[in-house]
Amino acid sequence: AKHDLWFHAQQSHGSHVILKRPHRNHEFPKQILLQAASIAAHFSKARNSSAVPVVYTEVRYVRKPRGALPGKVIYSNEKSILVSPMKPQS
């Protein structure tokens, strides 16, 4: 949904992570944001770094530019968080 949160390692190739909000105005605890960001860092080319900057924003602020290569997006209204990469738990 457009109010879910999108995470991606800043200035690094890799997967994004979507954190689903149960309702539009739901605020996640800081620990949950850190965990989602750490997972995004793990699935990036920066996974072997000790600290990775990860940006996050609502999905509605992420879009693919016309004619852009696959995987290329632009975003706005982002916040940045510095995390250590962490493999997700099963």
Give the model confidence (pLDDT) of 43-76 as tens digits: 999 999 999 999 999 999 999 999 999 889 999 9
Residue 73 structural domain: 5-83
Position 88 in a domain: no
- Predicted TM-score (pTM) of this structure: 0.92
> Does 76 reside within a domain?
yes
Does 23 fall in a domain?
yes
Instruction: With CA atoms as reference, report the closest residue to 77 among 21, 2, 1, 14.
Output: 2
Give domain status of residue 89, yes or no: no
Helix (H) or strand (E) holding 38: helix 30-42
For residue 14, pLDDT beyond 80? yes
- How many domains does one find in the chain? 1
Residue 90 has pLDDT above 80, yes or no: no
Q: Give the pLDDT of residue 42.
A: 96
